[in-house]
Amino acid sequence: MDIRDIVVTHHHPDHYGLSGWLQSQSGCKVWMTERAHAEARLMWGDGFGDDRGNGAEENAGKDNSKDINEILPVYFIRHGMTDEWSNGIKAHLESFNSQVEPQPVVSYFDVAEPFKMGGRKWQLIITGGHAPGHVSLYHADSGLMICGDAVLPQISPNVSLLPGSDPQPLQTFLQGLRELGSYPVSMAFPGHREPFAGFEHRVNSLLAHHEERLDTAAALLTSGPLSGFAVCEILFRSRVTTVHQMRFAMSETLAHLAELARRERVVMLETDNGFLFAAADNAGEQIG
């Protein structure tokens, strides 16, 4: 297989998943940011590392991933998720392990230097929120932007709060959007769907979408405190039918609530039964 380099924008299995297998077939380099690779290890363990082919198969995807596969459903339960949904989360998470193995030996970008690819030098733009350490590649002379999942046409990139990862993913995502939107872009190449023009417009509509979603979530709390799961049910229930969708809906809701808390519009209260969110003005009156 004649492949020399693979550039992985971020750690999600639909992007990173086959890179290790392709590397095993071709001997190619797999490039990521160091932060994105750390997130892959958080999700799926250390993979093969330097022990490739040395009995590492049994170890691949264990250790850390076992932790997150167990931590996340407990975390969701603390935020009010019902057994009906939380029971499926662990198996759902474990189902990804086979999709990312064998894991690649990763080369880290030198983020201070342009990356040479296809006869061009690409500026690396690192943002987070959708995925920590996500890299977009920008070619200034032509205005081409390879933006991975940082900016997508038509669909809003998922922004997930994950225990042990970025505690303010929505803030990070919005900062990243503003940074990406500051580049003059002639054509954007996203990780899903078709290349698109109007990059700045798309960035602005994603920024507006999240502000609206924040207002909607805050408004739900004006009549009393709610769990993260209760907010999630109101925001997303009609569109959620699978465990996969519920995991993203729940993580996205918690990301919005964390941002509302950071902006001091909402407070998170710990009770014997788990966490509740309350409007900042009436938090004291509603509980206790």
Q: Residue numbers of the site for Zn ion (CB under 5 A)? A: 12, 14, 149, 191
CB of 148 to Zn ion, least distance (A): 7
Q: How far apart are CA 288 and CA 46, in angstroms?
A: 45
CB of 161 to Zn ion, least distance (A): 15
Q: Which is nearer to Zn ion, 17 or 191 (CB)?
A: 191
Q: Which is nearer to Zn ion, 146 or 230 (CB)?
A: 146
Pair of tokens at residue 48: 């093969």
Q: Is 133 helix (H, G, I), strand (E, B) or coil?
A: coil
Q: Which is nearer to Zn ion, 89 or 147 (CB)?
A: 147
Residue 93 amino acid letter: L
Question: CB neighbours (10 Å) of residue 98?
Answer: 11
CB of 156 to Zn ion, least distance (A): 12
Q: How far apart are CA 72 and CA 79, in angstroms?
A: 11
Residue 244 amino acid letter: H
User: What is the DSSP-derived secondary structure letter of residue 119?
Assistant: T
Strand 120-127 and strand 115-117: pairing?
antiparallel
CB of 132 to Zn ion, least distance (A): 11
**Residue 220 exposed, middle or buried by CB count within 10 Å (0-12, 13-18, 19+):** middle
Q: Which is nearer to Zn ion, 116 or 192 (CB)?
A: 192
Q: Which is nearer to Zn ion, 12 or 213 (CB)?
A: 12
Q: How many helices, marked H, and strands, marked E, lie in the chain? A: 11, 10
Q: Which is nearer to Zn ion, 80 or 128 (CB)?
A: 128
Contact of 223 with 178, CB cutoff 8 Å: no
What are the φ and ψ backbone dihedral angles of 283, each rounded to 5 degrees? -60, -40
Q: Which is nearer to Zn ion, 102 or 148 (CB)?
A: 148
Pair of tokens at residue 46: 């250390």
Pair of tokens at residue 70: 């167990």
CB of 32 to Zn ion, least distance (A): 13
CA triple 173-177-182, angle to 5 deg: 150
Q: Is 136 helix (H, G, I), strand (E, B) or coil?
A: strand
CB of 9 to Zn ion, least distance (A): 8
Q: Which is nearer to Zn ion, 155 or 208 (CB)?
A: 155
CB of 131 to Zn ion, least distance (A): 5
Beta sheet of 5-7, edge-to-edge order: 5-7, 29-32, 106-108
CB of 261 to Zn ion, least distance (A): 25
